[in-house]
Copies of this chain bind each other. A is one copy, B any other.
Amino acid sequence: VSQRRVTIRDVAEKAGCSIATVSRVLNQSGPASTDAAERVLAAADALGFSFNELGRSLQSQRSRTLGVIVPSLSNPVFAAAIEGVQAEATAAGYQILLACSNYDEPSEIQAIRTLIGKQIDGAVLTVVDPDDSPALALLKAQGVPYCLMFNQPETPQPSVGVDNVAASRMAADMLLQAGHRNTAFLAIRFDGSERARLRHQGFSARLLEAGCPEPALLEVGDNPQDLDARLGALFAAHEGITALYASNDMLALAAIRAVRALGLRVPEDVSVIGFDGIAIAEMVDPSLATIATPCPEMGRGATSQVITAINEDRTPAATMTALPFSFRTGGSLGLAGAEKPADERAPVRRRTHPTTPVTKHGS
């Protein structure tokens, strides 16, 4: 079945010259007579030659390949970010080697090992714990430039994301404006996502400042089966909850479903706000109020930092680039104790975060 692939040597033979000349012509990396060039081009074309990038990479010590690790592909935020990475990488002539960690550190380490073995020139990734990550340690030890996406490390690290604390304070503000005081926070396991933790932090802080009770906390797994029951228990344990903030849109959507399964209405009985701003959130009914974040831009930004670093033979700056976010209101947000959603009465104003990227570390 597998015919031997045509190599530079075959082209040289057919063109009647040495492999050096072929290389020079095809790479335009040195002098060649018009005559020789023509023969080489013709031969390469006739043979359907294309370079074996393995040999090339081995020699040049650069693979033109970027490693990408995301926790999961089922959450559209990561898919959206990867599209950004793809676009940027392709434009710069890089390919991407993709791996999923499933929010699991051992898988993450294994993945990064393999990627390093394949001699990636750089990495763009979202890690489980950016402040104590064996994967990142490996990358540093090998001198592979990397940039995080989504992650918001405390320690200075190259990263592109949003200020989760500020964004969540904004979410709290919107709820406060709509008259909510008794809230709940629904999060994926904190130990697998520092974002969820920071979102909780910002949200709680703002509510406490406003003299509200601490939001009731519910931590769940990646793909919660028993959300109905657990949410029911939470509502039973905490009387008078009128609003729920979820640490991401997928969870928010699941929450809406669960809330309804409990016989409650959204937003009349419970308002729901999500985080991320995935496309689907705008297509459902009621539309999901959420913190809209620029996912493809995170991918693009992180990728461009890495590529620039590679080109300049250095490491990306160990700072977090905070991208702008905005609050996108939706039918899932209503006034506390009202029978109508807020935006059918006094529409909650759409607020946008300053568009200038702020550079800051940690939270």
| CB of A5 within 8 Å of the partner chain | yes
| CB of A74 within 8 Å of the partner chain | yes
Within 8 A of B (CB), among A235-273: 253-254, 256-257, 260
How many A residues touch the partner, as a band?
35 or more
A79 to B71: give the CA distance in the assembly, Å.
13
Within 8 A of B (CB), among A78-112: 79-80, 82-83, 86, 90, 95-100
- Residue of B54, B143, B283 touching A1 (CB-CB under 8 A): B143
| CB of A209 within 8 Å of the partner chain | no
CB closest residue in chain B, given A280: B280
Within 8 A of B (CB), among A51-82: 51-55, 57-58, 63, 65, 68, 72-74, 76, 79-80, 82
| CB of A155 within 8 Å of the partner chain | no
| CB of A208 within 8 Å of the partner chain | no
Within 8 A of B (CB), among A1-38: 1-3, 5
Interface pair B284/A53, CB less than 8 Å apart: no
CB closest residue in chain B, given A51: B117
- Residue of B68, B80, B117, B143 touching A2 (CB-CB under 8 A): B143
Interface pair A79/B73, CB less than 8 Å apart: yes
A184 to B242: give the CA distance in the assembly, Å.
41
| CB of A346 within 8 Å of the partner chain | no
Copies of this chain, how many? 2
Interface pair A65/B285, CB less than 8 Å apart: no
A90 to B86: give the CA distance in the assembly, Å.
21
A25 to B301: give the CA distance in the assembly, Å.
43
Interface pair A96/B95, CB less than 8 Å apart: no
Contacts known (A65-B118, A143-B2); A97 close to B95, Cβ less than 8 A: yes
| CB of A46 within 8 Å of the partner chain | no
Residues on the B chain within 8 Å of A117, using CB: 50-53
| CB of A344 within 8 Å of the partner chain | no
Q: How distant is A334 from chain B, measured CB to nearest CB, in Å?
A: 15
Contacts known (A83-B100, A257-B283); A315 close to B52, Cβ less than 8 A: no
12 extra interface residue pairs, beta carbon distance < 8 Å, beyond A53-B119, A284-B285: A2-B313, A48-B141, A68-B98, A74-B83, A86-B100, A90-B99, A95-B97, A96-B97, A253-B280, A256-B283, A280-B280, A285-B285
Interface residues of A (CB under 8 A from B): 1-3, 5, 48, 50-55, 57-58, 63, 65, 68, 72-74, 76, 79-80, 82-83, 86, 90, 95-100, 113-119, 141-143, 253-254, 256-257, 260, 279-280, 283-285, 313-315
